[in-house]
Structure 1
């Protein structure tokens, strides 16, 4: 049986949730997620979680904040002047917006607070600061010649 190693391209089905059980993503009803193990295409904890699996294996992986999206960075919470927001734009706490940084890149943010002269925007990844749990099923190891692991 071929075991997943770093450098392999794999296909997995997954169900991601927070430690309180809230689902934040799932491949259910979609094609499996395909990625190269060890390439940085997915978070480190997910990457490490598939190593050693064989096709058909299912497992649950608990990923600490440090191996997921990292801790929340307080410097990513910014105060944005209210007078730079279109007057007719309705604002609500929790609303998602896109800003452009000085290089013209789009930065997704969430409104965390609405003040009289400003709005507070959080540019942290929505899952920053969270421990994550993934149920993973290895569907395929793509394009790899048979590699037999001897006991």
Structure 2
């Protein structure tokens, strides 16, 4: 069997972990079943996919993914002021509390309270990992040509 490298048009079976530079783990599936995805299907961020290009079955590697190739840099425009009156009076607002808001397309968008007073609540809609360098530890188990529909 020919070793197929991770590239466009492949299905990759892998275990992974995502950690911050301080070593704190954000997500992992090591110790569980491998997951699979087709390169370019949107399951993984393009920066994570590109890092794996050329890897073959049996390889394990840790990649350092810059914020620009991971979850982006924080954008000041993603911090919104919402009138305090839009929150129920019985909600105990706290900095760091995450709420789910409806976006323009009817989906859900998480936002974290960064400050509040009697008049307004400042909500940060940036991804919680924006601006962070990510350590991506990946173990490739199998790579095969994807069935493209």
Partner of 1:63: 65
Q: Secondary structure at the match of 2:68?
A: helix
Which of residues 52, 76, 79 is equivalent to 1:50?
A: 52
Give yes or no for contact 1:77–1:121 (8 Å, CA) kept in 2: yes
> What is the alpha-carbon root mean square deviation over aligned residues?
1.6
Matched residues in 1 for 2:114 and 2:31: separation?
Answer: 32
Q: CA deviation at 1:143?
A: 5.5
Structure 2: unaligned runs, 5 residues or longer: none
Instruction: Give the TM-score, by structure 2 length.
Output: 0.88
Matched residues in 2 for 1:19 and 1:132: separation?
Answer: 7
Structure 1: unaligned runs, 5 residues or longer: 145-151
Give yes or no for contact 2:9–2:145 (8 Å, CA) kept in 1: no
Matched residues in 2 for 1:20 and 1:137: separation?
Answer: 21
Matched residues in 2 for 1:69 and 1:33: separation?
Answer: 21
Q: Confirm whether residue 78 of structure 1 aligns to residue 80 of structure 2.
A: yes
Partner of 2:11: 9
Instruction: Give the TM-score, by structure 1 length.
Output: 0.87
